[in-house]
Amino acid sequence: MKRNAIILEKHLSVGQVGNVAAILMGQLAQLDTKLFSKEPVIDKDQVQHAGIQYSTVILKAGSGQIANLAKLLVENAAINAVVFTATGQSLNNQFEIYAQSIKQSRLEETGPVGIAISGEDSEVRQLTKKFSLLK
């Protein structure tokens, strides 16, 4: 069984938490198309529900911890991982500038504010056991 974890910078505001988590989960779903059901999940009132297939936990950490985890996972093919940064937060609707800035920077320079990971449940749990639940 798989598991997803979204680890967010512990000083984000409530609005930033929602925004960064949504961005990360969207990108994670692109990396692993099995995270969500291909078939719609529709109730008796014909309302469609989210088709998430694996548990997702939201955790908190410091920016340095997020950067360290991201670097650790660069060569781990068993785990899908994607980060989002303060650079991305600052460039609203400016994707070309964002992409160019990221390509010219080291990770710490971009200010990591979140990372999403997906993989086998036991491995994701092992990688995230030092982080606290976001409350």
Q: What pLDDT shows up at residue 51?
A: 96
Q: What pLDDT shows up at residue 109?
A: 96
List Cβ neighbours of 45 (8 Å cut-off, separation of 6 or more): none
Q: What pLDDT shows up at residue 92?
A: 87
Distance CA 135, CA 114 (A): 15
Q: What are the CA-CA distances from residue 6 to residues 18, 53, 62, 74, 103 (Å)? A: 11, 16, 13, 16, 23
Kindly state the tokens that stand for 28. Answer: 């994670």
Any bridge partners for residue 9, and if so which? 61
Regions of the chain with pLDDT less than 50? none
